[in-house]
Chains A and B, each alone.
Chain A
Amino acid sequence: METKVATVKMRDITKTFGSVIANDKVWLDIYKGEILALLGENGSGKTTLMNMLSGIYYPDEGDIFINDQKVVIRSPKDAFDHGIGMIHQHFKLVDVLTAAENITLGLDGKLDLKAAAKKIRQICDSYGFEVDPNQKVYDMSVSQKQTVEIVKVLFRGADILILDEPTAVLTPQETDKLFAVLRNMRNDGKAIVIITHKMHEVEDLSDRVAILRHGQFVGDMPTKDTNAQEMTNMMVGHAVTLNIARPEPVNPRPRIEVKDLTVRSIDGILKLQDVSFTAMSGEILGIAGISGSGQKELLEAIAGLQPVEKGSVSYIEDDGTRDELLGKDPLDIAEKGITLSFVPEDRLGMGLVGGMDLSDNMMLRSFRKGRSVFTDRKSPATLARRVVKELEVKTPGIETPVRKLSGGNVQKVLVGREIASAPTVLLTAYAVRGLDINSSHTIYDLINQQKQKGVAVIYVGEDLDVLLELCDRILVLCAGKVSGIVPGRGAKKRDVGMMMTRLGGNANE
């Protein structure tokens, strides 16, 4: 370590947004030929810090040195000139342009897409990517888009790469492929910074970790000298347990029975085909699958938001009476105690209104209650305060528009509200997407509490490790069909991963 020279040195970097201090006198060194994992809770300022390196933000105070020369990075263009390229969590691609147009975007000189395509193919060949330069971005899958982003950065000759949560939207297989490429680049002598919440990825991939907490630099160390527990403790600032509890289901009874559910999208594409399963009370049913395999449609069909081609969804009460949910108003379904907390890719899309404050968002569930023509504003405000306190939402107050909160905090508000309505069935999708490990565990605890109250929980998740630890049973979807239902206890990650990509998960070619 001593022999290496830091290619990037950040010194006393401070950045504030209004009254919020995002980074407070942060020191960070980045070395060539090394993969650095930048860790921290949500809102600890990781992305902000990296955005200052890539020229999106400008630091209020502090200096940045590249190869021992003090530099001023005022714009992304300056960052490129210093060889810094960042792959953002939300891809920075123009959908209606082709891969080649996106990759050459912002460069100078005559527009020569043919020459660009040639260079793109060269880069792809040397690192093992697959990119069609003439494909439009809106036709690409998520991992293709990410590849375009990486090629874009390499095209500009970057030798310092920053990746902000690159694996959040990838399947395990795609993640492995990405990591192989990253290791290739490291061996090529490039400096790589990766922001992630997934501890096993940190241990798997990185050479060194640096940890931020509440905008302050806590420390860094070689990955091999530490472990997930220690890193988590440093991130959170106190000891936490990393095991997810899985209490035995209490008195499980069938609650929701789905039979032969088939759903077609508006464009006529088959989204779900003959899906059948039963969700039990007091049990967590996990739903695994590559994103876009029909998880969204399944939950929406149960909640009455999605037109169904055929099949049935029955709600079974404790005394055995059955109610058909299909064809019912979403409002009626909600009144039965079926609540959907869906966290879509853009978190504010469904469920919360970005421009409204916390207590008004709480009111979206309750505004029909109350006796007079005026809405009851007091109880939503009380609920908002409770959610903020119990879930440790970081917000200046309950009058803050939800849009201004960081992603993890938005999620806590949404999940907190849904749980507060005392459901009998809780549908959650991607409840911990983008949440740091501490907040994720808060959410797992909340879900477990619901389970123990006898709620039937359907949990759509993307992190297989969590699904395997949290759920009692796991239903695996593959391209809209049920690939299998496995018990959560004792299931193997590899098997479930296979089932996600191939119907039935048969490993024999």
Chain B
Amino acid sequence: MFEAILSFLPRAIAQGIPLLYGSTGEIVTQKSGNMNLGIPGVMYVGGICGVIGAFLYEQSLPSPDAINSFLAVLIPTLFCLLGSLLMGLLFCFLTVTLRANQNVTGLAMTTFGVGFGNFFGGSLVKLSGADMPFLALSATSNCFKVTLPFADKLGVFGDLVFGYSFLVYLAIAIALIASFLINRTRTGLHLRAVGENPNTADAAGINVNLYKYLATCIGCMIAGLGGLYYVMDYAGGIWANNAFGDRGWLAIALVIFTIWRPNVGVLASFLFGGLYILHMYIPSGMNLAVKELYKMLPYVVTIIVLIISSLRNQRDKQPPQSLGLPYFREDR
């Protein structure tokens, strides 16, 4: 039993990290009043851009042994950030500058992001000449998966606390920093004001569009890292089309579950990760349908949280008031 838990917890955490990236990014975005339903697509793009970077770098090497672990991490990360940034800019340009409907734009971007990922994923698989329908970048992945050297020596505790790669700690750090910024600093105050009531923020001299652009683009870059983590660390450097699955939507569910609080997201993402893989630990025999039912659990708890928070109707536990609405100063 104890061993089962020991193997379950790290896997739950590993499963939760992409969700944590996605939800932190989406919370930062939503706090500015932008409802970016394109996050699943952004995470896809983040993942495939990292893969493209890694692929190009590995191809440029004379032999896999010549890999420089610093560059092997840096290049895919930069590619990933750039790809997600472009997605964020696209979303902002459409919804903030052109004031297109955010839901429609977001959904279109999700469709686009998934298609983009699958297209380039498929192309790379072909280029690599593999006979299997996936691309393996194990050398790069090994560089991403480096853990702290002393983790093994600390026994169970070391495995549980220190046994992860840097992207895991980065996710937690970003979530905590985001929480601090949003709640404790002037920038965060302004950001919240923009998301709650852009008219007021504008009248107070805050550059609403700038905040929306910055929050959305930074949010997308954070979310994109979730895609990168998934491919390079969780999946061991193996890209297969559609393997990322519905994690992007889970990240958005997590935003609601945590009631827009990134610090709560840290633990909540582990919970979601645990619920997501619970079916592997529950003896269900060969009945696949039961497994699928278990996969629903994160969504079910999200709905429950939504119901509870709507019932209690506390004013500070609601979504940003102008979430999803375009803002134009001279609109009447």
Contact = CB atoms under 8 A, between A and B. Distances in A.
A96 B196 contact: yes
A342 B196 CA distance: 28
B316 interface: yes
Interface string A81-122: 000001010001111110001101111111100000000000
Interface residues of B, number: 25
Interface stretch (A72-80, A288-296, A328-336, A490-498): A72-80
B205 interface: yes
Nearest to A267: B313
B184 A95 contact: no
Contacts of A136: 315-316
A127 interface: no
B200 interface: yes
A97 B193 contact: yes
Interface in B317-332: 318, 321, 329-330, 332
B200 A56 contact: no
A94 B200 contact: yes
B199 to A, nearest CB: 6
Interface string B170-212: 0000000000000011100110110011011111111100000
B315 A105 contact: no
A17 interface: yes
Contacts of A17: 330, 332
Given A94-B192, A105-B206, A138-B315, A57 B330 contact: yes
A502 interface: no
Nearest to B320: A96
Interface in A339-382: none
Contacts of A403: 332
Given A56-B329, A95-B321, A97-B196, A105 B201 contact: yes
A106 B196 contact: no
A94 B186 contact: no
B197 A106 contact: no
B316 A76 contact: no
Contact of B202 (A56, A109, A110, A404): A56
Contacts of A97: 189, 192-193, 196
A352 to B, nearest CB: 15
A54 interface: yes
A406 B185 CA distance: 39
Which interface residue of B185, B200, B207, B332 has the most chain A CB atoms within 10 A? B200
A105 B193 contact: yes
Contact of B205 (A88, A93, A106): A106
B245 to A, nearest CB: 35
A95 B321 CA distance: 9
A79 B141 CA distance: 55
A102 B206 CA distance: 12
Interface in A26-72: 54-57
Contacts of B192: 94, 96-97
A404 B206 CA distance: 26
Given A57-B330, A105-B189, A96 B204 contact: no
A105 B330 contact: no
Contacts of B189: 97, 101, 104-105, 111
Nearest to A86: B203
A267 to B, nearest CB: 9
B225 to A, nearest CB: 28
Contacts of B332: 17, 403-404, 406
Interface residues of A, number: 32
A106 B321 contact: no
Contacts of B193: 94, 97, 105-106
B200 A92 contact: yes
A404 B193 CA distance: 26
B40 to A, nearest CB: 28
A506 B303 CA distance: 53
A95 B315 contact: yes
Contacts of A106: 190, 193, 201, 204-206
A88 B203 contact: yes
B196 A92 contact: no
A92 B199 contact: yes
Contacts of A404: 332
A56 B204 CA distance: 10
A278 to B, nearest CB: 38
Contacts of A109: 186
B316 to A, nearest CB: 5
Contact of B200 (A105, A111, A406): A105
A77 B316 CA distance: 28
A442 B332 CA distance: 25
Nearest to B332: A404
Contacts of B315: 95-96, 136, 138
Given A94-B192, A97-B193, A105-B193, A80 B186 contact: no
A105 B315 CA distance: 19
Nearest to B200: A92
Contacts of A406: 332
Interface string A369-403: 00000000000000000000000000000000001
A422 B177 CA distance: 63
Given A80-B205, A94-B193, A96-B315, A110 B200 contact: no
B204 A92 contact: yes
Contacts of A77: 205
B316 A96 contact: yes
Contacts of B201: 94, 105-106
Nearest to B329: A56
A403 B315 CA distance: 28
Contacts of A95: 196-197, 315, 321
Interface of A: 17, 54-57, 75-77, 80, 86, 88, 92-97, 101-102, 104-111, 136, 138, 403-404, 406
Given A75-B207, A88-B203, A92-B199, 13 more contacts: A56-B202, A56-B203, A56-B329, A56-B330, A76-B202, A95-B315, A97-B192, A97-B196, A105-B189, A106-B193, A106-B204, A111-B186, A404-B332
Top 3 A-B pairs, shortest CB-CB distance? A106-B204, A77-B205, A92-B200
5 contacts: A17-B332, A56-B203, A106-B204, A107-B186, A138-B315
Interface of B: 184-186, 189-190, 192-193, 196-197, 199-207, 315-316, 318, 321, 329-330, 332
